[in-house]
């Protein structure tokens, strides 16, 4: 394992995993974002970028993390190991929002100075649609290499941790203890809140149309305050819902998917909020499945702590309360109205 390509959705953990592999094996780590984006988020010209990738991939040893699909095959051909972080969508979105809060007004360690952390609607939509639009292309690109290279697909934080444990056995001569990883500063979990609002369908369609044609970034809050009625509140952290939505999706209750899924990131550009649209179709399909009798507090607690890499003792009860509030508010979706779950 001397030439490693690490790919995956934004927020999947490429940079952190690459640094940890590099520390284990003594390999230099190249974060493509820090080379492609110059100060002020200025992209590197295509010809210069292609030359950089060609020269970099010909080096003797490296770990390269980043996507850049147009030039992906250059790295795949040169690598002896390919790691694809095929992580859950909500985990990726959670991390993208989390780093936006954590590095607000600052530059992340894997970017150049002058590239302050930002999050716009187009990027959030791209992350949202990664599994549907980009993932199939990545899997197709990997197929020619499955017999000749080590292709590793990691689908959860647990699998990533187990992979790193295996990497420790491949440490260079002279290595002893696994590297001590400095964890990033924790973000206050209450910095993300959850609220439910009920909006008449006619106003919701007006909102969708205006958002598509005009943007409405500056008027979104006023529009919601005028035309959306607050529903039963959830007093806990919005991070509980960001985790719960993924937990439910893995069990066949996919509340993010609907004909309005493209609106899910509409508010991010100015307000950094994720909006899930709950419809009468969701109500018909999932209301009974959200009965609390179907869920185990200990299982919910274990899932949350693995998902968020935490050790919170009481979070299982918070997850149950989130399910209760979700089911209660989902009852409000009908022929004439939708329910909005907004994490902000």
Domain ranges of the chain: 3-168, 189-343
pLDDT at 204 over 90: no
Tokens of 286: 């999932």
Query: Which class would CATH give 3-168?
Result: alpha beta
Neighbours of 202 (CB within 10 A): 11
% of residues, the chain, pLDDT over 70: 78
Residues 6+ apart with CB under 8 A from 200: 227, 336, 337
φ, ψ of residue 80 in degrees (nearest 5): -100, -15
pLDDT tens by residue, 267-326: 544 445 677 889 999 999 999 999 999 999 999 999 888 877 678 888 999 999 999 999
How far is 20 from 224, CA to CA, in rounded Å? 44
Q: Where are the alpha helices (DSSP H) in 103-184?
A: 121-128, 135-142, 157-168
* pLDDT number for residue 194: 87
* pLDDT number for residue 147: 92
pLDDT at 150 over 60: yes
* pLDDT number for residue 266: 53
Tokens of 21: 């592999």
Rounded to an integer, the average pLDDT of 113-123 is 66
Q: Specify whether the CB–CB gap between 14 and 66 falls below 8 A.
A: yes
φ, ψ of residue 230 in degrees (nearest 5): -60, 140
The domain defined by 189-343 folds into Hypothetical protein yfbM fold (3.40.1760)
* pLDDT number for residue 219: 59
Residue 260, helix vs strand vs coil: coil
Across the beta sheet with 274-278, what order do the strands follow?
Answer: 229-230, 194-200, 337-343, 274-278
Rounded to an integer, the average pLDDT of 93-115 is 67
Rounded to an integer, the average pLDDT of 92-102 is 72
pLDDT at 56 over 70: yes
Provide the Cα torsion 7, 13, 17, 18; round to 10°.
50
pLDDT at 24 over 80: yes
Most distant pair of Cα atoms in the chain: their distance: 68
pLDDT tens by residue, 159-202: 888 898 888 766 543 343 433 333 333 444 445 788 999 999 99
Residues 6+ apart with CB under 8 A from 196: 230, 231, 232, 233, 234, 325, 329, 339, 340, 341, 342
pLDDT at 252 over 80: yes
- Report field, pTM of the whole predicted structure over 0.75: no
């Amino acid at each position: 394992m001397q030439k490693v390509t690490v790919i995956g959705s934004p927020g999947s953990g490429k940079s952190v995993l690459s640094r940890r592999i590099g520390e284990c094996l003594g390999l230099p780590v190249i974060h493509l974002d820090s080379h492609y984006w110059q100060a002020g988020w200025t992209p590197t010209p295509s010809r210069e970028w292609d030359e950089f990738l060609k020269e970099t991939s010909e080096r003797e040893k490296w770990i390269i993390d980043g996507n850049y699909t147009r030039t992906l095959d250059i790295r795949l051909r040169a690598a002896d190991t390919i790691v694809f972080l095929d992580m859950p969508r909500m985990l990726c979105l959670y991390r993208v929002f989390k780093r936006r809060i954590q590095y607000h007004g600052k530059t992340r360690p894997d970017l150049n100075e002058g590239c302050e952390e930002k999050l716009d609607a187009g990027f959030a939509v791209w992350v949202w649609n990664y599994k549907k639009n980009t993932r199939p292309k990545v899997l197709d690109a990997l197929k020619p290499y499955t017999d000749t290279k080590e292709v590793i697909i990691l689908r959860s934080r647990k699998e990533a941790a187990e992979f790193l444990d295996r990497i420790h056995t491949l440490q260079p001569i002279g290595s002893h203890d696994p590297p001590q990883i400095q964890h990033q500063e924790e973000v206050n979990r209450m910095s993300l809140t959850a609220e439910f609002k009920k909006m008449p369908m006619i106003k919701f369609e007006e909102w969708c149309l205006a958002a598509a044609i005009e943007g409405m970034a500056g008027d979104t809050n006023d529009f919601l305050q005028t035309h959306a009625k607050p529903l039963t509140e959830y007093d806990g952290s919005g991070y509980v819902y960001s985790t719960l939505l993924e937990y439910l999706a893995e069990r066949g209750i996919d509340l993010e998917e609907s004909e309005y899924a493209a609106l899910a990131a509409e508010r991010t550009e100015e307000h950094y909020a994720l909006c899930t649209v709950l419809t009468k179709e969701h109500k018909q399909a999932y209301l009974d499945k959200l009965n609390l009798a179907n869920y185990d507090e200990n299982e919910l607690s274990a899932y949350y702590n693995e998902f968020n890499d935490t050790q919170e003792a009481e979070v299982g009860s918070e997850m149950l309360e989130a399910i209760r509030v979700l089911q209660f508010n989902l009852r409000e979706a009908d022929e004439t109205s939708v329910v909005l779950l907004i994490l902000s």
